[in-house]
Structures are given as C-alpha cells and as structure tokens.
C-alpha cells in the first residue's frame, strides 16, 4: 500500500477530472508518496499546521503509470514516486486526517 497526503480540494478536483495529478507532477515530474511507516515523518515535515487533509490509500498493483521506490533526496531511505497521473481506481480508500488543535499528528485507527 502506498499513501499520498492531499488537500480535500485536490481530491475533489481529481474526482472531477478523473485522475489525480497534483502540482508536484508538473514541478518535480512525479507524484510523491510514502509507505505507512513514513506518513508521520512526511506530515511533520511538510503538512504541519495545514487543515482539510486526506490520506489517499493506493493499491500498488492498480497503479497504471510507471512508479518506483527512490532516494532522490539522499535521505538514506526510499520513497515511492509515480511518474504520471494517478488513476482513481488505484485509490482504495480516502481517510480524512483530523485537524488537531494540539498540533499532534496521529494516524487514524482505521488506516488500511
């Protein structure tokens, strides 16, 4: 399972368009993703203080665009990158990430 953190607006727009192509696809050439054990790190680094977030749960075997695990930032850890728009039928669940007044980031209990 791959995971992608998106805003509610990004996800609603993807549903209108029929595929998910966030800004990073244009700016970086791929869609950033992570594994379950990387979600908190990604949220702390890039999403602190942001609201209206959802976690896209993506079935690897359903992804139509090419993708691969890479360490492009020399972090000593690989992250999955999708090199094209994400087909919506690869998204098997969309989990709202609760806005936390205390700022603490917690994974939802029902995460696939």
Write out pLDDT tens, residues 11-65: 999 999 999 999 999 999 999 999 999 998 998 888 887 888 999 999 999 999 9
**pTM (2 d.p.):** 0.90
pLDDT at 105 over 70: no
**Count of domains forming the chain:** 1
Q: Quickly list H helices, 1-112.
A: 8-17, 23-27, 39-46
Backbone angles phi, psi at 75, to 5 degrees: -95, -5
Residue with tokens 């993708």: 67
Judge whether 108 lies within some domain: no
Q: Domain containing 69 — which CATH number?
A: 3.20.170.20
Residue with tokens 């919506």: 88
Q: Residue 93: beta bridge partners?
A: 57
């Amino acid at each position: 399972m791959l995971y992608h953190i998106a805003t509610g607006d990004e996800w609603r727009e993807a549903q209108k368009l029929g595929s998910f192509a966030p800004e990073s696809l244009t700016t970086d050439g791929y869609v950033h993703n992570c594994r379950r054990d990387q979600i908190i790190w990604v949220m702390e680094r890039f999403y602190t203080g942001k609201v209206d977030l959802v976690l896209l749960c993506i079935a690897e075997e359903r992804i139509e665009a090419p993708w691969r695990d890479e360490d492009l930032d020399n972090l000593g850890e690989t992250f999955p990158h999708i090199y094209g728009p994400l087909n919506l039928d690869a998204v098997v669940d969309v989990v709202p990430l609760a806005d936390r007044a205390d700022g603490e980031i917690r994974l939802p209990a029902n995460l696939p």
